[in-house]
Amino acid sequence: MNLKPETSARIDEVITHYPTKRSATLPLLHLIQEDVGFISDETIEWIAQKLEIQPINVYEVVTFYPMFRRKPIGRRHIRVCRTLSCALMGGYKTCDAFKKEFQTDLNEVSPDGEVTIEFVECLASCGTAPVVMVDEKLYEKVDEKKARELSAQIKAESKVAPVR
């Protein structure tokens, strides 16, 4: 595994948080996904060895939790909330606006490689619906207009500097 030194250091540190190594499965998956971008077969085997468990123990976790992904995504990750409160305030239109702006479907890498759009379940910010996360940042009250503005911002940023 080719990990950044700080990722490796954090992995070793986080394992000490738990009396059993297996508990570090989710933290390790997060750390490696943040570093590498997705969870490969190699990662699953590497984590299994690191935590002294079987690869199937890691694999079943990867397939259970929606946030872990098995393939790379676009450079930016757009997560639009789909659940009731956001939908009541127009979340479906917001999602469509993003899809149109980047000419892509859900869960795909857009043709320009820029984004992957996901329609996710509740992001727990229902009072400011509809909400959207771009990478790790939350945007509130994102109607179609704001979705188009955000898209323009993402496109502009990509021309300045690569994000990942």
How far are the Cα atoms of 50, 76, 97, 100, 127 from residue 85, in angstroms, in the given order? 41, 25, 18, 23, 8
Any contact of residue 57 with other proteins (CB under 8 A)?
Answer: yes
Secondary structure class of 149 (helix, strand, coil): helix
CB 150 within 8 A of CB 159: no
Secondary structure class of 104 (helix, strand, coil): coil
Any contact of residue 64 with other proteins (CB under 8 A)?
Answer: yes
- Residue from 1, 7, 30, 38 that binds other proteins (CB under 8 A)? 30
Nearer to other proteins, 8 or 23 (CB): 23
- E strands present in 43-139: 76-81, 115-120, 132-134, 137-139
Query: Looking only at residues 101 through 130 of this chain, which bind other proteins when binding is defined by CB under 8 A?
Result: 120-129
Query: Looking only at residues 66 through 95 of this chain, which bind other proteins when binding is defined by CB under 8 A?
Result: 66-68, 79, 82-85, 87-90, 92-93
Residues near other proteins, by CB under 8 A: 17-20, 22-27, 29-30, 51, 53, 57, 60-61, 64-68, 79, 82-85, 87-90, 92-93, 120-129, 133, 136-138
